[in-house]
Amino acid sequence: MKSLRSLLQFCTTLPLGEPVEFEYFARRSYLYPIAGYVIGGIAAFIVYWIASPALAAAIALGAVLLLSGCNHFDGLLDFGDGLMAHGSSERRIAAMTDRSVGAGAVAAGVVVTLLAFAGLQTATPIWASILIAEVCAKLAMSYMTVLGRPFRDGIHSYLHDRARPAFLLYATLLALPLLLLPVPGIVFAAAAGATVAVVTAMLVLSHQLFSGVNGDVVGAANEITRAGVIAILALL
């Protein structure tokens, strides 16, 4: 239970009492998908009662951002600045870790949010789509934690050092309860494919541009995976 509380205190803004040591979660980072069930489940419950697709999509995305404290969205913005910077890995890292918000950050935030918002309006049912997308987003973070070689000390390196290859299997197993949702099997295959595709692309891109991964890249993977999964489900 301490590991779950530590996970949710890290990934959500839910009032969960006294802070639990981060180490409890760090040694079990494969628990990430559980945070996806909590965040996505709350958002799904809210939008289940909303008939307007546009309004439901906006509220669903707003809910997941607020429940996560925009923590991972901040990583997306930083990643956007690093992505748009020119020059060496050092210059890109400096742009990504700088506290100022540049044009790359704005572009990344707008593009990913628009993609998720537009896709969620046509992905039916919306409540199931946001739940699936959020669990997949957290699954991507678990994969990135295991596979992403850190380029500097920080939260990601702390989690990466304590992760084990078996965490990939454990995290995947935690995502399997999604199969109980009343949606066609092709939806889960498409969502899984989108998750793996985003993780692969983020690993390749980050190692080429930054010579490794940090917490911003992992947070960006969360946001991009959510949008990517939603887009795929909308196309189906």
Q: Which DSSP category does 101 fall into?
A: -
87 burial type by CB count under 10 A (0-12 exposed, 13-18 middle, 19+ buried): exposed
How confident is the model over 30-83, as pLDDT tens digits?
999 999 999 999 999 999 999 999 999 999 999 999 999 998 999 999 999 999
Residue 84 to residue 68: CA distance in whole angstroms: 25
Residue 62 to residue 227: CA distance in whole angstroms: 13
**What pLDDT was estimated at residue 112?**
97
**What pLDDT was estimated at residue 231?**
96
At residue 138's C-alpha, the angle toward residues 135 and 143, to 5°, is 125
Token couple for 95: 């742009």
Residues of the chain with pLDDT under 50: none
Residue 112 to residue 118: CA distance in whole angstroms: 10
Residue 54 to residue 67: CA distance in whole angstroms: 20
Segment (H or E) for 132: helix 126-147
**What pLDDT was estimated at residue 88?**
85
Q: Which pTM was predicted?
A: 0.95
Cα dihedral 199→202→204→206 (10° resolution): -140
The per-residue b/e assignment along 104-119, b for 16 or more CB within 10 angstroms, e otherwise, is bbeebbeebbebbbbb
**What pLDDT was estimated at residue 235?**
92
Q: Does residue 153 come out as left (phi exceeding 0), alpha (psi in the -120 to 50 range) or beta?
A: beta
**What pLDDT was estimated at residue 99?**
77
